[in-house]
Amino acid sequence: MGPRVIVVGGGIAGLTTAHHLLAARPDLDVLVLDGGDRPGGKIRGEAVGGVTVDVGAESVVASSATARALITQLGLAGDLVHPEPVPATIWSRGARHPVPARTFMGIPSSQTDLSGLLDDGEAGRAGRPAPFALDGQDVTVAEAVGAVYGRAVVDRVVEPLLGGVYAGRVDALSLPATMPRLCAAMREGRSMPEAVGSLLPAPAAHPAPRVMGLVGGINRLVRALSERIVAAGGVVSGSSLVRELHRTPEGWRVVTGPTIDPVAHDADAVVLATPAAPTARLLTDHAPRAALALAGIEYASMAVITLALPTAQVGSLPGSGFLVPAVDRRTIKAATFSAAKWAWVDADSPDVTLLRASIGRAGEVATLQREDAELLATALAEVGEALGATLPTPVDSHVRRWGGGLPQYDLGHTDRVAAARDDVAGLPGLELAGAAYDGVGVAAVLDGAARAATTTLQALPPSSIPRQEHR
């Protein structure tokens, strides 16, 4: 047996890192320690209305070569699918409007039509973009976009789209951290509209899908990764919360188990694929600057409510769903008509129509303190209001709460990540991975996991004596 690597955290970042390690070096002794009841982190499938659907992340950016390669490696390429070509809308001021085309994360280009969604005065202001220079400073999304296009574009277009990704507030989210490509284009001397235009593909009669998924849900990645790790000789250990991290003469030691019966696992290298707060605690004695930086990353909580409605009483739903601006003060921030968006969901549930609603933005503590029954009733009522109909009683439903689920890329985030990585770089055999660093989407996390695996492999010795567990 070759060197041992311990991956702390069994979410998609940790599982993917472990997979890459074993694929590159089958001789490795890889142990994944996950504190949850089952691996997968924020990717999870649950049976609702007789169909297993995603109750966390449900798609990956279609342009991600890393994601496509991983899906192919796991033997799932034949089940790769794209959403049906049905449009999404924005439920704003009591009406549903088409999501404006030719935008970058909602930021308009010179070809974007905002009429209808904005009133005449707001659209007129947006049509007269003002100059804005970044000059290397950090700035919020609201400050930068508002200065160029006016506040209505921030509230009615950009915020709903970013809210679906980060569950954050545009007045706190950092433009360089959330849209680094846009900022890079602007720092080359382009105006914001010009920078947006440079990032968009050429107009096409049939635009390429922006996201992709899997038949049966993106949750299948978790099962496939776990099975591949075990088949390669690795171990995925659930309900194994790591409490301590120590340096040893040979490498590292992580401690799990209760304080009265601790279990120590020795390793040549460790990858911390945990959220920022637990990572900060583990790093306190080894990389205090990194620990302080990571402790400053806030997280937003949210909930996904899945409803199975009787198809005979619902009929077909219009489009793939809708987004909701925070300024309208609704409880839900988005709704996805799963049966319309994904053909496989519709095929697997002929008698029920599945949809889901998302609830929870950064700072909305009281909303998520409501009981499940109240959240379900609110989601049903507000989706019905958006559709102009009273929806029937669900035949099945599910509420999945994601406490501290999404890291907030607020002002200073890029500097915090840089400080953490710089400090950890001085600790041989220790790497970081996860959604706290380079993007919260699945594709960005997969990219980060691949990099963490590569750097870990470079630091490993060619062989070592198998480690023992010490009680």
Q: What domains appear along the chain, each with residue ranges and CATH number? A: 4-37+218-297+411-470 (3.50.50.60), 101-199 (1.10.3110.10), 299-407 (3.90.660.20)
Whether 265 contacts 469, CB under 8 Å = yes
Residue linked to tokens 């992340």? 57
Beta strand 269-272 pairing with 4-8 = parallel
Q: Which two tokens stand for residue 359?
A: 């609830």
In whole angstroms, give the CA distance from residue 384 to residue 434.
36
- In whole angstroms, what is the distance from residue 291 CA to residue 326 CA? 32
What pLDDT score does 463 carry? Answer: 62
Residue with tokens 């088409």: 98
Query: Where does 53-158 have alpha helices with state H?
Result: 65-73, 120-126, 141-149, 151-153
Per-residue pLDDT of the chain (471 residues; tens, 9 = 90+): 799 999 999 999 999 999 999 999 999 999 999 999 999 999 999 999 999 999 999 999 999 999 999 999 999 999 999 999 999 999 999 999 999 999 999 999 999 999 999 999 999 999 999 999 998 899 999 999 999 999 999 999 999 999 888 999 999 999 999 999 999 999 999 999 999 999 999 888 788 899 999 999 999 999 999 999 999 999 999 999 999 999 999 999 999 999 999 999 999 999 999 999 999 999 999 999 999 999 999 999 999 999 999 999 998 899 999 999 999 999 999 999 999 999 999 998 889 999 999 999 988 888 999 999 999 999 999 999 999 999 999 999 999 999 999 999 999 999 999 999 999 999 999 999 999 999 999 999 999 999 999 999 999 988 644 444 444
Residue 368: CB partners within 8 Å, gap ≥ 6?
Answer: 301, 302, 303, 359, 360, 401
- CA of residue 349 relative to chain centroid, distance: 27
| Secondary structure class of 236 (helix, strand, coil) | strand
Per-residue pLDDT, 442: 97
pLDDT at 470: 42
For residue 2, which of 23, 32, 30 has the smallest C-alpha distance? Answer: 30
With CA atoms as reference, report the closest residue to 74 among 125, 19, 116, 120: 19
pLDDT given for residue 462 in this prediction: 81
Q: Whole-angstrom Cα distance, residue 155 to residue 142?
A: 8
CA-nearest of 83, 46, 59, 85 to 308 is: 46
CA distance 464 to 460: 9
